[in-house]
Chains A and B, each alone.
Chain A
Amino acid sequence: MRDLFKAELLRFRGWALGAFAVHLLVLLFFTRLVDLAQQPVFVYRVAGGVDALVGVLLGLYQVGSYRRPNVWLNLLHRPLAPGRIATALLGAGMVWLAVAVALPVLLAAAYQAGLTARVVDLRHWLLPLAAWSLAACGYLAGAGCMLGRPRSAIAALVLLLVPAASQASGAWALLMQASALAWLAAMVTVSFKPDLSAPPRSVPATVLLALPLQVAVYVAIIVVVQVGAQVIWMVQGTHPNNTETPPKGGQNETERMTPEQRMLTGLAVSTAPEAPLWREQVALSDVVAIAPDLDVVPARGALTNAAPVDFDDPARGVRWTFSHDRMRLSGYRIAGGRTVGTLGVGGTNAAFPAPTVATRGLPGQPKEDRSLLAGNMLYHYVSETGQVFPRIRLPHGEWLLGTAPVGENLAALSNHALYFFDGRDVVASENLLRPRQRMPIPGGPGGLHNLELIELVDGYLVSNAYTSYDYTMAGAAPYQTVTWVHDDGRVTLAARRPITFDYPAWFRYQSWWPSPVLYGLRQGVSSLFAAPDPMQVANPKPRPRSVLWLAATLMLASLLAALWLIRRRALSLPGQVAWVVACGAIGLPALASLWLLYSACERAPRTRLEPAAA
């Protein structure tokens, strides 16, 4: 085994060292231009995608070069178990991926840590491992594509969706990658056998190969439904997003309105006696739109940056970067890069309770000042003194998502409520602000698409439109509310307008009805080891009866088709029973996997070929 391993190392030596050199040069080049450790998540996704792609290509090439029958025979016909041969071959590939993918990242991190004042936290030291893990997943997926019958082996690629879809962060994200890697390694091991076309024989091997195949079919169904339906609608000119006049009373119509139009439409169904007056005031007032400053809340130790972690103070010539290890800001001179130390909260330099995100300063403060969102807190960074003071503290468990000036006052949006603060208090001192009004938001923040308000003489009129997930099953049934927030803190619902769906139910539930079981698996895997994200909460609507019937019909049809199909497949009786049950429970993806994994029984042709007698 060691000799085979060394042989494969030798085979890819030149390519791997070349890739290492190119990768290192690229990273060092960009390190001179930007702080690679603090890039937005998109950059990490692209890098991770490239790593996985490199792995896929290596796996396809390496194992593909052995796939030809005579070469495969020559490789496996030796006094070594196939598993040991696979370990030797793939172990060599893994080593070279570590050299070409992970080592340059490690060296770049070491450069930043050792020779610059930039922040390099523990989470950054984990990036080489994450890069290698993604490349290794791609590598084994590529290798898996070459082992077995092409029509089913390509399903190995679907396991690359696990790290892509997982919402886990930090070390938990690495654990998810390791889980995908372990599954792929097991898949490759059971597929690495003399007869590549043979179906799996044991129950564990069947599960290892069948489940990814079923998920691949499930994903393919969703893609076909989603793309196919939309293309057809576009061709017909009936796509809700593309029609000149959107469907009346629907999500598109609401989203295309101006803030004033939206408030007026909401008020149109109000029965409040003040409604006519409010409509006049909307027409005359400045409508303020408030949107969250965060798409996702940052998690401590996350490998990537969900939101910007640094900001510049041009007046002091300092760039502040949030350090997850110290839970404080770490600064260095923009010119020269010399370190200026760390910055915490108040005079004691205390740690922040959560990773901070810098946003615009509070109203009435100098333009160099910044607001720092951190969990349920808002801090004021004072450029002149170089200090940070807590200004807003929301109840424990709430996440402060953003602020906006409303006239001379301040509004702050959390995942549970909208708060109003007196603008005079903001500039009067650096003390904690006390909210004058609190308006609970009626739905989950994930579904909130538009929040607008106007100032009234006796409070605020607030419009909430929940249309974000109208086209999927994840969100609430779309609606709009208009709420009157009184000066004295009372909250009165002025109007509630239901909004119709622009898309039919079968389209909105496209990820559920093909296989409710696999949908559940998908949801479970994507949220496994992940902290709940308050921005994703959307209070999903109950499933319509028509969709339930559609799913049940497909499951029954799959079961009946499986009963027909298993008679044409060489399976034991327990195997037949298990497959029929699986097709009934999982639906079409299981039926397709049964068809793809097992060849039809070889039957004698009706007219026998009779060789002539010698």
Chain B
Amino acid sequence: MNNHVIETRALTKRYGAKLALDALDLSIAAGHIHAIVGANGAGKSTLFRILLGFLPPSSGSARILGRDSQQLTPEDRGRIGFVNEEHTLPNWMRVSAVADMQRHQYPRWNQRAYDEVIGHYHVLPEQKIGQLSRGERAGFNLALTLAQGPELLVLDEPTLGLDVVAKRAFLESLMYSSATESCTVIYCSHQMEEIERVAENLIILERGRLAHMSAPEEFCARVTHWVADIPFAGPPPAGVPGLLQVQRIDGLHHYLVLDQDEDFAQFLRGAGARTVQCMPVSLDRAVNGFLAKNHAMPAAA
């Protein structure tokens, strides 16, 4: 039996001449928390909109919970929770009324999950949504979505615009909720510290294609940071194997490289390095370096 919650085959989406998704082949297994990262314009939001049936693909196929994404039924939608960065909720309604509405609409409503999450926030049932702070709205939205009892929960940059305290509260609500144990979570964010905390699988999209998929620590292990003391100009960047990023700070050359072992030290020494030091990198640094490698820049830069 196919146990993938999301499957795309050669999924392509074009906006005129621009490719948002470029023959994307992606299979996400059920269970776990999967993080999707990518630079702006990598195709993350387009992917979600296609998966939820709000945008047609130009070509290829997309399946979610085993169903063609363009043929989702209301029952299918009841199995998929979705939270976006806007936390769109009816401002004119009271918290209790919104919760009641969701309770009536979702047959698998989990009151315990709702109470668990909403307990992290000082949200009163009689408050109007419009009176909630951005963090409270995010928490309330998460509580509503988790209480729906989704089999798949998609979070599209849910902490965007939240302050540090609200972000932490949101993540803790998510991580310690019993509701997430029984569902697959797709977490899309630019905040690497969040990814590091929650994700068990890291998916990197770049220009509409799958650039990488593995556990976050495996990806970190592939990226290394080398500091070399090279008295004169270093080797030309084009000749540096696996180069993601190079900087010269205080006379030292800093190389961020992909998939390089001790041979890279030999390479640096061969290029005139007097000392060479290798350091591990954080996920934030690794992903940023990875994504920055192909970042478009003016020809003169």
Residue of A nearest to B211 (CB): A614
- Of the candidates A11, A73, A79, the one whose C-beta lies within 8 Å of that of B90 is A11
Query: Residue-by-residue, is B171-213 near A (CB-CB < 8 Å gives 1, otherwise 0)?
Result: 0000000000000000000000000000000001011110110
- Given contacts A609-B19, A611-B209, A614-B211, whether A78 and B52 have CB atoms under 8 Å apart is no
A7 contacts B97, C-beta separation under 8 Å: yes
| Interface assignment of A72: CB less than 8 Å from any CB of chain B | yes
A73 contacts B49, C-beta separation under 8 Å: yes
Residue of B nearest to A600 (CB): B16
Within 8 A of B (CB), among A583-614: 602, 604-605, 609, 611-612, 614
- Of the candidates A2, A73, A79, A605, the one whose C-beta lies within 8 Å of that of B74 is A79
- CB contacts (< 8 Å) of B75 on chain A: these are 79
Q: How far is the CA of A126 from the CA of B198 in the complex (A)?
A: 64
Q: How far is the CA of A612 from the CA of B243 in the complex (A)?
A: 13
| Interface assignment of B53: CB less than 8 Å from any CB of chain A | yes
CB within 8 Å: A-B pair count: 90
B77 contacts A79, C-beta separation under 8 Å: yes
Most buried by A among B22, B54, B55, B104: B54
- Given contacts A3-B105, A605-B17, A612-B294, whether A194 and B92 have CB atoms under 8 Å apart is no
B105 contacts A194, C-beta separation under 8 Å: no
| Interface assignment of A46: CB less than 8 Å from any CB of chain B | no
Q: How far is the CA of A512 from the CA of B18 in the complex (A)?
A: 44
B74 contacts A78, C-beta separation under 8 Å: yes
| Interface assignment of B168: CB less than 8 Å from any CB of chain A | no
| Interface assignment of B290: CB less than 8 Å from any CB of chain A | yes
Query: Residue-by-residue, is A1-22 near B (CB-CB < 8 Å gives 1, otherwise 0)?
Result: 0111001001100000000000
| Interface assignment of A385: CB less than 8 Å from any CB of chain B | no
Query: Residue-by-residue, is B19-50 near A (CB-CB < 8 Å gives 1, otherwise 0)?
Result: 10010000000000000000000000000010
Q: How far is the CA of A194 from the CA of B211 in the complex (A)?
A: 29
Q: How far is the CA of A72 from the CA of B84 in the complex (A)?
A: 12
B92 contacts A77, C-beta separation under 8 Å: no
- CB contacts (< 8 Å) of A348 on chain B: these are none
- CB contacts (< 8 Å) of A614 on chain B: these are 204, 206, 211-212, 258, 290
| Interface assignment of A295: CB less than 8 Å from any CB of chain B | no
B17 contacts A77, C-beta separation under 8 Å: no
Within 8 A of B (CB), among A41-89: 69-74, 76-81
B104 contacts A3, C-beta separation under 8 Å: yes
- CB contacts (< 8 Å) of B96 on chain A: these are none
The smallest C-beta distance from B89 to any residue of chain A, in angstroms, reads 8
The smallest C-beta distance from A91 to any residue of chain B, in angstroms, reads 15
Query: Residue-by-residue, is A258-297 near B (CB-CB < 8 Å gives 1, otherwise 0)?
Result: 0000000000000000000000000000000000000000
| Interface assignment of A195: CB less than 8 Å from any CB of chain B | yes
- CB contacts (< 8 Å) of B54 on chain A: these are 69, 72-73, 76-77, 194-195
| Interface assignment of B250: CB less than 8 Å from any CB of chain A | no
A604 contacts B49, C-beta separation under 8 Å: no
- CB contacts (< 8 Å) of A2 on chain B: these are 104
- Of the candidates A71, A78, A198, the one whose C-beta lies within 8 Å of that of B78 is A78
B56 contacts A611, C-beta separation under 8 Å: no
Residue of B nearest to A601 (CB): B58
A70 contacts B78, C-beta separation under 8 Å: no
B212 contacts A80, C-beta separation under 8 Å: no
- CB contacts (< 8 Å) of A69 on chain B: these are 49, 54
A611 contacts B77, C-beta separation under 8 Å: no
Q: How far is the CA of A614 from the CA of B242 in the complex (A)?
A: 9
- Given contacts A74-B84, A614-B212, whether A79 and B78 have CB atoms under 8 Å apart is yes
A194 contacts B104, C-beta separation under 8 Å: no
| Interface assignment of B101: CB less than 8 Å from any CB of chain A | yes
B86 contacts A79, C-beta separation under 8 Å: no
Within 8 A of B (CB), among A124-147: none
- Of the candidates B74, B90, B207, B258, the one whose C-beta lies within 8 Å of that of A609 is B207
Q: How far is the CA of A70 from the CA of B54 in the complex (A)?
A: 10
- Of the candidates A4, A71, A78, the one whose C-beta lies within 8 Å of that of B88 is A71
The smallest C-beta distance from A191 to any residue of chain B, in angstroms, reads 14
Q: How far is the CA of A361 from the CA of B15 in the complex (A)?
A: 75
The smallest C-beta distance from A390 to any residue of chain B, in angstroms, reads 64
A74 contacts B88, C-beta separation under 8 Å: yes
A to B CB contacts below 8 Å, 9 in the list = A2-B104, A3-B101, A11-B93, A194-B54, A602-B14, A602-B58, A611-B206, A611-B209, A614-B212
- For the complex of A and B, the 10 pairs showing the least CB-CB separation, nearest first, are A79-B78, A3-B101, A611-B207, A74-B88, A612-B294, A602-B58, A614-B211, A605-B17, A194-B54, A79-B74
- Apart from A2-B104, A195-B55, A614-B212, 12 more pairs, CB < 8 Å: A3-B100, A7-B101, A11-B93, A70-B86, A73-B54, A74-B82, A74-B89, A79-B78, A602-B59, A605-B17, A611-B207, A614-B204
Which residues of B does A touch, CB under 8 Å?
14, 17-19, 22, 49, 52-56, 58-59, 74-75, 77-78, 80, 82, 84-86, 88-90, 92-93, 97, 100-101, 104-107, 204, 206-209, 211-212, 258, 290, 293-294
Which residues of A does B touch, CB under 8 Å?
2-4, 7, 10-11, 69-74, 76-81, 194-195, 198, 602, 604-605, 609, 611-612, 614
